[in-house]
C-alpha cells in the first residue's frame, strides 16, 4: 500500500498549495478513513480502485490504482444510454420507435419490465427503465437497436480507452461470451461523470437527458448509502445534496460511479472492488468500505 501513502501525501500537498484555501484545508477531510478502509480490502486480497475529483477546481482528491481496468458490471450501461440519448438529440429514427417485448425473457435478473403487462414501450421509456432499475431486458433491446459497435465508437469518441460495454446482459456467460458485461478504470469513470455533470458529454441536451435517466437510479446501497437520500426519490436536492450515480454488482464485483453536489462544492467519483465473494462477511466488508468513502465525500462537499 505504498502507492496509497504516496497518493495521500500528494493530495495533502495539492490542497495545502491551493491559493485561498489555507483555512479550509485545516478542516477539510483528507479521506484518511477511505484510504484505510480500501487498504484493508487490498491487504485481504481484493483488487481496489478509486478516483475522486473536485469538480470546482479539477483537483484529484483520491487516486488509488485508478488506471487499472476492473469489471464494473452494470455501470457500462451508462455508455449505452449516452448513445441512445445522442441519437434522440440527432432526431434519428430510434426515437420514433416502439420496441416489442420478446415472448421469452432470457435475462430475468435485474429490472421490472419482465413483471409488467406492457407488451411494448418507446425507446425513451426503455432508457428510463435502464436508468432506474438497470433493467436487463430493456438494455438488451436498446443495444440490439443501436448496436454494440456504435456504443464502442461513441465511448472512444469521449476519450475513454479503458472503459467499455463489452456485451449484452446474460444470465450465464459461456466460453464464447465476453467474461464481463463491462469494464472500466475509475479515473475514466470519474471523469465521465464529471463531464455529465458539466453537460459536456456530446452536448448539453444529450447530457441532461442521460442525467435525467440515471437520476432515477434506485440503488443507493454502496458509496451513496452514506448520503441519507431516499432511494426512490432523490432527483432534486435534499438537505443541499444532489446525486447522480450508477452502480454495478455481480459475484465478486461491486462498483459505483457518480457525481455529488453539496452546499460547498461538487465531486465526481468512482470506486471499484473485485474480491473473492466466498462469504457474506467478506461481501459486507466491501460494502462497508464503499460506504466509508461515501461518508467522507459527503463531508467534503458540505
- Provide the pLDDT for residue 265: 95
- Provide the pLDDT for residue 96: 60
Mean pLDDT of 159-167: 96
pLDDT classification of 32: cutoffs 50, 70, 90: very high
C-alpha grid cell, residue 269? 467519483
CA count, 13 A, side-chain hemisphere, 129: 23
| Total domain count, the chain | 1
pLDDT tens digits, 197-249:
999 999 999 999 999 999 999 999 999 999 999 999 999 999 999 999 999 99
Q: How far apart are CA 117 and CA 138, in angstroms?
A: 14
- Provide the pLDDT for residue 280: 97
pLDDT classification of 19: cutoffs 50, 70, 90: very low
Percent of the chain scored above 90 by pLDDT?
78
Mean pLDDT of 54-61: 94
Q: How far apart are CA 15 and CA 294, in angstroms?
A: 20
Nearest to 56 by CA among 201, 192, 187, 194: 194
- Provide the pLDDT for residue 30: 81
Please determine, for residue 259, whether its predicted confidence score (pLDDT) is greater than 50: yes
Residues 6+ apart with CB under 8 A from 131: 81, 210, 212, 213, 214, 215, 216, 217
Mean pLDDT of 127-137: 96
Mean pLDDT of 258-262: 97
Q: Which residue has the cell 432499475?
A: 133
pLDDT classification of 258: cutoffs 50, 70, 90: very high
Lowest mean pLDDT among 24-38, 64-78, 235-249, 255-269: 24-38
221 lies in which domain range?
Answer: 2-301
DSSP line for the chain: -HHHHHHHHHHHHHHHHSTT-HHHHHHS---HHHHHHHHHHHHTT-EEEEEEEETTT--EEEEESTTS-EE-GGGGHHHHHHHHHHHHHTT-GGGG-EEEPPSS-S--SS-SGGGS--SEEEHHHHHHHHHHH--HHHHHHHHHHH-HHHHHHHHHHTT-SS-EE-S---SS--TTS-SSSEEE-HHHHHHHHHHHHTT-SSSHHHHHHHHHHHTT----SSGGGGS--BTTB-SS-BTTBEEEEEEEEETTEEEEEEEEE-SS-EEEEEEEEE----SHHHHHHHHHHHHHHHHHHHHHH-
* Residue 218: CATH number of its domain: 3.40.710.10
Please determine, for residue 111, whether its predicted confidence score (pLDDT) is greater than 90: no
Lowest mean pLDDT among 174-188, 221-235, 273-287: 174-188
pLDDT classification of 2: cutoffs 50, 70, 90: very low
Q: Kindly report the three-state secondary structure assignment for every residue of 86-117.
A: HHHHCCCHHHHCEEECCCCCCCCCCCCHHHCC
**Burial class of residue 2 (count of CB atoms within 10 Å of its CB; 0-12, 13-18, 19+):** exposed
pLDDT classification of 95: cutoffs 50, 70, 90: low
Q: What is the mean pLDDT of the chain?
A: 89
Amino acid at each position: 500500500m505504498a502507492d496509497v501513502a504516496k497518493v495521500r501525501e500528494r493530495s495533502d500537498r495539492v490542497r495545502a498549495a491551493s491559493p485561498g484555501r489555507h483555512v479550509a484545508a485545516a478542516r477539510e477531510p483528507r479521506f484518511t478513513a477511505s484510504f484505510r478502509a480500501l487498504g484493508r480490502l487490498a491487504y485481504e486480497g481484493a483488487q481496489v480502485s478509486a478516483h475522486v475529483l473536485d469538480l470546482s477546481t479539477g483537483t484529484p482528491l483520491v487516486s488509488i490504482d485508478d488506471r487499472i481496468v476492473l469489471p464494473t458490471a452494470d455501470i457500462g450501461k451508462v455508455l449505452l444510454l449516452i448513445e441512445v440519448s445522442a441519437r434522440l438529440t440527432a432526431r434519428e429514427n430510434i426515437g420514433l420507435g416502439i420496441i416489442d417485448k420478446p415472448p421469452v425473457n432470457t435475462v430475468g435478473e435485474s429490472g421490472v419490465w419482465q413483471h409488467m403487462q406492457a407488451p411494448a414501450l418507446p425507446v425513451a421509456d426503455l432508457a428510463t427503465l435502464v436508468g432506474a432499475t438497470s433493467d436487463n431486458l430493456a438494455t438488451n433491446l436498446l443495444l440490439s437497436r443501436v448496436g454494440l459497435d456504435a456504443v464502442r465508437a461513441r465511448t472512444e469518441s469521449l476519450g475513454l480507452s479503458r472503459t467499455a460495454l463489452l456485451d449484452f446482459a446474460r444470465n450465464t456467460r459461456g466460453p464464447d461470451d465476453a467474461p464481463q458485461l463491462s469494464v472500466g478504470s475509475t479515473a475514466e469513470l470519474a471523469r465521465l461523470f464529471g463531464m455529465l455533470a458539466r453537460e459536456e458529454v456530446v452536448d448539453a441536451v444529450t447530457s441532461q437527458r442521460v442525467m435525467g435517466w440515471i437520476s432515477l437510479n434506485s440503488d443507493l446501497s454502496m458509496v451513496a448509502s452514506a448520503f441519507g437520500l431516499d432511494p426512490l426519490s432523490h432527483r432534486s436536492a435534499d438537505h443541499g445534496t444532489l446525486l447522480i450515480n450508477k452502480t454495478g454488482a455481480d459475484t465478486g464485483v461491486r462498483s459505483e460511479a457518480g457525481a455529488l453536489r453539496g452546499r460547498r462544492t461538487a465531486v465526481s467519483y468512482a470506486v471499484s472492488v473485485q474480491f473473492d465473494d466466498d462469504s457474506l462477511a467478506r461481501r459486507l466488508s466491501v460494502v462497508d468500505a464503499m460506504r466509508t468513502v461515501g461518508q467522507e465525500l459527503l463531508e467534503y462537499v458540505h
